[in-house]
Amino acid sequence: MKTQKLVIIGNGMAGVRCAEEILKYAASAFDITIIGSEPHGNYNRIMLSSVLQGGTNMKDIMINDIDWYKENGITLYVGETVKRLNRQGKTVETDSGRKVLYDKVVIATGSSPFMIPLPGIDLEGVMAFRTVEDCEKMVSSAKSYKKATVIGGGLLGLEAAKGLLHLGMEVDVVHLGPYLMERQLDEKAAKLLQEELEHQGMNFLLEKQSERLLGRKRVKGIEFKDGSSVRTDLVVMAVGVRPNITLAKESGLEMNRAIIVNDYMQTSDPDIYAVGECVEHRGFVYGLVKPLYEQGVVLAKHLCEQPTRGYQGTILSTQLKISGVDVFSVGQFHDSDDTESIMMLDETESIYKKVVFQDDCAVGAVLYGDTKEGTQLMEMIAKGEKREMVKEILMNAHPQTEDHLAEMPMSQTICNCNNVSKGTIIEAVQKHDCSTVDEIKACTKASGSCGGCKPMVAEMLSYIQSDQFNETIVEEPFCACTSLTENEVVDHIVHERLTTIDEVRNKLNWVRDGCEGCIKALRYYLRMIYQRTELTGDLDELVGVQKQDDGRFTLTLPIKGVLLTGEYLQELTLIMKEYNQPHLAVTENQQLTLIDVEETDVLSVMDRLNIERKYASDFWIHHVRTSIVKQNLKQLYVNDMYQLAEALDSVIDHRFAPQHVYITVANDFDKNSTVEKGLTLVRMSRGWEMYIHDTLISIVNREDVNSYVIALIQYYRETASYLEELNSWLNRIGLIHIRELIYEDDLRDQLLNDFTQSTENEWDKSNHVMNK
């Protein structure tokens, strides 16, 4: 593929994340140039409040320093602003007169702070809070002046106010609304936050609309529309931002509130893309870091021709620590005429929780003071979980104890912005010798965006370094025949293209010929990776065919969906007479078996009954069984059950697996009768519930259940260790991770594609078995 010239206009978080992802997927495909208007490398704008408060410095919030661009072959121009985008000549021109050619261009110009056009706006001491330079001006002002006023009681305004308090200034916060942070909190949570911030020293002027700024040269005060006024030496406006779209608008791109893009972040010009706060996607303009990062990943995949369904939008959630207080919100958390809510309030501990429901489905939540259920609630809201299940989560929530980190599953998300789990942080400490929060951030990106999770990352690190910690992700050797771990063996097979068991043993210095255990495991991994196996041509290599001691064979007849037609039974009866088969056995797995079939008759009987010739394996996905609970006969959905069993059987029956997998389709769920290794699908009025053992994986509508099951099975096949049962795999990988994976459209589609490809490769070789 020809190297293309890619120009990214904007050196902020969204644009550079796109560049980072491109380097992962196709580093040599693009000659990347990045142009930024600030005189710095790429830094974390969200953490400016921490710099202002004295907790960090510029070095701490730098995501990629100047050396990073050089090391990755990226041309960087700082302190320059792109003034013209010449679509015909395919060049960008900066205010320094520089012209840069492009094949593709990404506009990542972000947003600009909105300054209320009040009389006196041009006085000294009136400023925004958006850049490192703004922080420096505020620090300088605090040395000479004592009274500051922040206009805006949103997140940014409160963080600015906290920083100014830290600098020793008296601070008033002016807010137009009746309570703070109305975009992230409901009224009750906002009042609790206000009480805490007042205790810290802030003063609030609510429901105040500014009329003019007072002063001759420097600002001296603010006058409000109600006639009142307040004295001040410094005014910080934090009333929101506006998409920075001047360049795109002057270039003739399609606009609304921001630059209109499709699901692949493409503008009305097919060679121009846009990401971040300057973008409008499906009517939404996002300002939080998680959707901006997601947009960058989608764009990178698209540019690198990687499979992607495009950006599908983001369920907005906020999880932050504001002046030492944990808050979380997601979805539609404000009450309305058609919603109901569950609320919990502990005034002694200042903990407040609320979940909002519409038509009995969770649509939003607010947590104040204790946010540990935030990730789980966000997932339940994304699925529209019913009230009873959500209520159970809230009611069973326990106060945080000293051993809460030990009880947390490996898959629990610690950093929401960058999707970093507890297990990933433990791995960073154990395998990469990370010993500080900064080293963990550099290794995993945890705490590298909004910073809200930094205290949790620090707590995780302290826990890992404590005597209480006894968890490990260190793997044992593959077997006694080698010192390599299972993952290391598989990595060698993939990267060194080892295609046979002998090649593996010779290249990896097996200490002996191999035991029965590792030979079977290697056979599985080679088959999983290359979709082929070493065959002898014997009949009993076929699925359902087993040689008896007397030289004859038993032949299992697969019955898809446990449904038999009259025509099938008639043909089976004729075959039994023709081939002298007096008996037909019924197995416990709801299948039929012919006994004592002569070797010369096996293949012809299979052909007569349209039985596919599939290769057998040590372990496989068993025939789908049905389970009908009699007391529910009136509400059975019998046809749906049988149809699903038949549809799944036709696709996954006897596919090889790392361990036996049993699938049951039922009309009720009884965990006492569930096969421990199995997947149970329960038909409910709202769709299908998927269980592994007694753990609810998901609730899937009737139309999508097949794809979810197949994706789950394929991910198990790709990631489970040999002999690892389905339930053990779930416990190791983690429920949240598995749910996220099968719910994410791109990843699910990729798994379905992998399954289809492996099916074609696996069964296409069946004709290699010789007719005997």
Position 469 in a domain: no
pLDDT of res. 670: 59
Q: How many whole angstroms separate alpha carbon 51 and alpha carbon 60?
A: 9
> Is 471 a member of any domain?
no
Q: d(Cα 154, Cα 239) in Å, to the nearest integer?
A: 7
Instruction: Give me the half-sphere count of Cα atoms (radius 13 Å) on the Cβ side of residue 444.
Output: 31
Mean pLDDT of the chain: 84
Q: Answer yes or no: do 294 and 359 share one domain.
A: no
> Are 678 and 691 in the same domain?
yes
Last residue of a domain, one of 557, 585, 619: 619
**Residue after which a domain boundary falls, among 215, 239, 263:** 239
What is the predicted pLDDT for the residue at 772?
32
Q: Residue 767 pLDDT > 70, yes or no?
A: no
Where in the sequence is the domain holding 492, given as residue range(s)? 477-530
Question: Is the same domain home to 650 and 611?
Answer: no
Residues 448 and 504 in one domain: no
pLDDT digits (tens, 9 = 90+) for 289-325: 888 988 999 999 999 988 777 888 877 777 776 777 8
- Would you place residue 633 in the very low, low, confident or very high pLDDT band (cuts 50, 70, 90)? very low
Instruction: Kindly tell me the sign of the dihedral angle through the C-alpha atoms of 549, 550, 552, 554.
Output: negative
Q: Among residues 299, 245, 310, 259, which one has the least CA distance to residue 6? A: 299
CA dihedral of residues 458, 460, 461, 465 (deg, nearest 10): 140
Distance CA 628, CA 669 (A): 10
**Distance, CA of 62 to CA of 71 (rounded, Å):** 16
Same domain, 522 and 555: no
**What radius of gyration do the chain's Cα atoms show?**
31
Instruction: Provide the H-helix boundaries in 304-407.
Output: 374-383, 387-395, 404-407
DSSP conformation class of 121:
T
Instruction: Please report, to the nearest 10 degrees, the dihedral formed by the alpha carbons of residues 147, 151, 154, 157 taken in order.
Output: -40
Using one digit for the tens of pLDDT, what is the confidence trace for 702-732?
778 889 999 999 989 888 888 888 888 887 7
* 517 in a structural domain: yes
Banded model confidence at residue 368, pLDDT cuts 50, 70, 90: very high
- Please report the pLDDT score of residue 771 as a whole number: 34
Region of poorest pLDDT, from 92-101, 431-440, 527-536 = 527-536
66 three-class SS: helix
**Residue 654: inside a domain, yes or no?**
yes
Q: Which residue has the tokens 């261009």?
A: 105
728-to-352, 571, 677, 695, 751 alpha-carbon distances in Å = 36, 43, 9, 12, 21
Which 8-state DSSP code applies to residue 713? H
Q: Tokens for 295, please give them.
A: 């947009």
Q: What is the pTM of this model?
A: 0.63
- Name the pairing type of β-strands 126-128 and 234-237: parallel
78 and 162 both lie in a single domain: no
Query: Domain containing 360 — which CATH number?
Result: 3.30.390.30
- Token pair for 226: 């109600």
Among 274, 303, 332, give the residue marking a domain's end. Answer: 303
- Tokens 């007391």 found at: 631
- Bigger pLDDT: 402 or 529? 529
pLDDT tens digits for range 382-437:
777 788 778 877 766 554 444 667 777 776 777 777 778 888 888 888 878 888 88
- Per-residue pLDDT of 73-87, as tens digits, reads 999 999 999 999 999
Structure tokens at 573: 């009866």
**Mean pLDDT, residues 38-66:** 82
CA-CA distance, 225 to 662, in Å (whole number)?
Answer: 71
% of the chain with per-residue pLDDT over 90: 34
Tokens of residue 623, six digits: 């025939």
Q: Looking at per-residue confidence, does 686 or 574 come out higher?
A: 574
Residues 740 and 660 reside in one and the same domain: yes
Q: 660, 677 in Cβ contact below 8 A?
A: yes
| Same domain as 252, residue 200 | no
176 part of a folded domain: yes
What is the model's pLDDT at position 635?
52
**Cα 186 to the chain's mean position, in Å?**
27
Question: Residue 383 in 3-state DSSP?
Answer: helix
Q: Is beta strand 259-261 parallel, antiparallel or unpaired with respect to 317-322?
A: unpaired
Q: How many domains does the chain have?
A: 7
CATH number, residue 415: 1.10.10.1100
Q: What average pLDDT does this structure show over 347-356? A: 90
Same domain for 144 and 288?
Answer: no
- Judge if 641 and 755 occupy the same domain: yes
Q: Could you tell me if 104 and 153 lie in one domain?
A: no
Please classify residue 156 by burial: count the beta carbons closer than 10 Å to its beta carbon, then call 0-12 exposed, 13-18 middle and 19+ buried: buried
Query: Average pLDDT, stretch 663-684?
Result: 72
CATH code: domain of residue 289:
3.50.50.60
Nearest to 380 by CA among 344, 342, 407: 342
Location of structure tokens 């259920």:
373
CA–CA distance, 375 with 393 (Å, rounded to integer): 12
In eight-state DSSP terms, residue 201 is T
* Termini Cα distance of the chain: 50
Nearest to 258 by CA among 239, 287, 281: 281
Over the stretch 184-228, which tens digit does the pLDDT of each residue have?
899 999 999 999 999 999 999 999 999 999 999 999 999 999 999
Residue 656 burial (CB < 10 Å; 0-12/13-18/19+)?
buried
Type of residue numbered 522:
L
CATH of the domain at 582: 3.90.480.10
**Using CB atoms within 10 A of its CB, is residue 39 exposed (0-12), middle (13-18) or buried (19+)?**
exposed
- Assess if residue 771 is contained within a domain: no
Question: Do 247 and 106 fall into the same domain?
Answer: yes
Inside any domain, residue 362: yes
Which of helix, strand or coil describes residue 770? coil
With contact defined as beta carbons under 8 Å apart, do 549 and 632 qualify?
no
Answer whether residue 167 is part of any domain: yes
